[in-house]
Chain A
Amino acid sequence: MILLLGPLAALPWLAVSYTLTLIFFLSVYLTLALSYDIVGGYLGYINLGHSTSFGLGAYTTAILLNQGCSLAVALGLAILLAAVFATLVSYPLFRLRGAYFALATFGLISLIEVVVTNLRDLTGGSGGISTPPGNNLLPAYYLAIVIVLVTMVFSYYLARSQFGLALFSIREDEEVSRAFGVPTSFYKCLAFVISSVPASLIGGVYVWNMTYISPHSVFGLEIALSPIVMAMLGGSGTMVGPVFGAIFITLVQEFLWTKVPYFHLTMYGTVLVLLGLFMPGGLVRTRWIQPLLQRLGLGEELTYFKNS
């Protein structure tokens, strides 16, 4: 662990800010992928609208920072607002299942995007919103890394908790789960709200670092789908899956972007299709990664619930 954290902490003195920005973005996506997987992987409900929390968190933080709030207050209120919003929408959303749930959550993004675009006095409309200028890259870098680590640890222990067991049982068979005493409706809503917390928090940190966001940048397709792709290609339903997926995809994107200009998006799409075709369980469930995980003492990650 120290082997990993040491270089990350020392990196600002060793590397250029490009690398820092890259790792910052990786942290943002990884946090989103991990928190998405609480609902998408553990609970088994594909939540395509996970970036709604991210966007709400980002906008709330931006507005509050402009009002002169401190960062901590702004982030706290951002989490609160996103959690309240998640609570309100979760009940009607969870009346749906499967593809219908996925589509409804996807619609949620557009809904909030339209609202944000039209509340011009508050949000700056489609022109976006700027926060007080300043170079926050270094603190934002550390903050993002801390958030990722906390989310990872949380996700790891969630899978080993009783609540995690309940989520897995709901994913496997909701009706049977109910018949064996699991309060399914309440737990589904709870999982949904919990997964909104890291997403809204990292949204706030994102805007603090970037100092500018527009409806397009936080409610766009890229931020909505990339974390889901990372979680799925890495291996849904595990903590290590999204981590591998996010790192792998970020590296592939970087590589293609620099080595195959003009065609990088085409190549990126091809890589995704190939991965989906040949590694249906995700990267971490392949022959090459499994022994590595076992050596790291994370072999049990691959079984779904880890209580045995």
Chain B
Amino acid sequence: MAYALECKEINKTFGGLDALRGINLKVTEGEILGIIGPNGAGKTTLFNIISGALPPTRGKVFFKGRDISSMGAPKICKLGIARTYQLVRPFHSLTALENVLVGLCFGRSDPPPREAGVAEAMDILGFMGLGDKGNKASGSLTLVEKKHLEIARALATRPDILLLDEVVSGLTPTEMTRTIDTIHQIQTRGVTVIMIEHVLRVVMELCKRIVVLNYGVQIAEGRPKDVVNDPKVIVAYLGKVESDDQEIWGD
């Protein structure tokens, strides 16, 4: 069986900077895969490549066995990969409902007729806990609401794969718990989720498997528990104690 998503030897360079080097990723259908790594590790760049916002310099991305690496972002979205943004980017002056409608009307290969579309958009907003916010300008929503709106807009495209870029960072613990629940529900509806996350609690709770990136290289992969105890990962996050220093302290 083809993987839901497969990245083969993805390389991305910006000028002289290697943002990603030889990334290989296999995502099976229905799983929640976590991607972690320090700032600047290339996590968001990887999302940009998968969603078609940027072309890879080398390497290929396969969606259900189909090569999508040179397809444009609109086409990839219609095929079934939707994303959210780390720094929320709703269409500010449009209402929450209209934001969802954009995904619904344009992000699908089979957009519904208008009436049904609006009803479905309201359903999705309700599912994300924004049922009463449909007529509010999205720019006036709170951060949590904006993050949930981003998920709603992505869900409106009926994705097979949902790319979540730090959806719980910046939320309070209560809000986090609710969001985790929601992501679980999305998964049980049959959506494959790939999430970039810094908050370890969320990753530990949701993901069966984690990939760790550092300076554009994949340094570890596996079950959350094993990965966080991997010395390479600890070094990537906390840095290494230089041997010279050790001697000083050793005295």
Cross-chain contact B106 with A179 (CB below 8 angstroms): no
In the complex, residue of chain A having the shortest beta-carbon distance to the beta carbon of B163: A179
Cross-chain contact A308 with B102 (CB below 8 angstroms): no
List, in ascending order, chain B residues with CB within 8 A of A182's CB. 74, 102, 106
Cross-chain contact B74 with A178 (CB below 8 angstroms): yes
Partner-contacting stretch, out of A19-27, A164-172, A239-247: A164-172
List, in ascending order, chain B residues with CB within 8 A of A308's CB. 95, 97-98, 134-135
Chain B CB within 8 A of A181 CB: yes
B188 → chain A closest CB, angstroms: 24
Which interface class (under 10, 10 to 19, 20 to 34, 35 or more) fits B? 20 to 34
Residue in contact with B102 in the complex, picked from A165, A175, A303, A304, CB distance below 8 Å: A165
Chain A CB within 8 A of B105 CB: yes
Cross-chain contact B95 with A305 (CB below 8 angstroms): yes
Given contacts A168-B94, A307-B97, contact A173 B89 (CB under 8 A): yes
Convert A36-47 into 0s and 1s, putting 1 for each residue whose CB lies closer than 8 angstroms to a CB of B: 000000000000
Chain B CB within 8 A of A150 CB: no
Counting chain B CB atoms within 10 Å of each CB, which of A165, A177, A182, A308 scores highest? Answer: A308
A269 → chain B closest CB, angstroms: 30
List, in ascending order, chain B residues with CB within 8 A of A286's CB. none
Cross-chain contact A179 with B77 (CB below 8 angstroms): yes
How many contacts between A and B, using CB within 8 angstroms?
A: 80
Cross-chain contact A180 with B51 (CB below 8 angstroms): no
In the complex, residue of chain A having the shortest beta-carbon distance to the beta carbon of B109: A181
Given contacts A165-B105, A175-B53, contact A180 B157 (CB under 8 A): yes
* Interface of chain B residues 106 through 120 with chain A (CB within 8 A): 106-108, 114, 118
Counting chain B CB atoms within 10 Å of each CB, which of A162, A166, A172, A181 scores highest? Answer: A181
In the complex, residue of chain B having the shortest beta-carbon distance to the beta carbon of A187: B106
Cα A177 to Cα B108 with chains together (Å)? 13
Cross-chain contact B78 with A172 (CB below 8 angstroms): no
A117 → chain B closest CB, angstroms: 42
Chain B CB within 8 A of A7 CB: no
Given contacts A180-B107, A180-B157, A308-B135, contact A169 B51 (CB under 8 A): no
Chain B CB within 8 A of A176 CB: yes
Cα A69 to Cα B82 with chains together (Å)? 54
Cross-chain contact B89 with A176 (CB below 8 angstroms): yes
Given contacts A166-B102, A303-B137, contact A181 B157 (CB under 8 A): yes
* Interface of chain B residues 61 through 85 with chain A (CB within 8 A): 72-74, 77-78, 82-83, 85
Convert A173-205 into 0s and 1s, putting 1 for each residue whose CB lies closer than 8 angstroms to a CB of B: 101111111111000000000000000000000
Cross-chain contact B135 with A181 (CB below 8 angstroms): no
Cα A307 to Cα B73 with chains together (Å)? 25
Cα A299 to Cα B234 with chains together (Å)? 58
List, in ascending order, chain B residues with CB within 8 A of A162's CB. 105-106, 114
List, in ascending order, chain A residues with CB within 8 A of B102's CB. 165-166, 169, 177, 180, 182
List, in ascending order, chain A residues with CB within 8 A of B118's CB. 307
Residue in contact with A172 in the complex, picked from B93, B101, B134, CB distance below 8 Å: B93
Cross-chain contact A181 with B106 (CB below 8 angstroms): yes
The 3 closest A-B pairs by CB, nearest first: A172-B91, A181-B106, A181-B107
Q: List 20 A-B contacts (CB under 8 A).
A: A166-B102, A166-B105, A168-B98, A169-B94, A169-B102, A172-B93, A178-B72, A178-B74, A180-B74, A180-B77, A180-B82, A181-B74, A181-B107, A182-B102, A303-B95, A304-B94, A307-B97, A307-B98, A308-B97, A308-B135
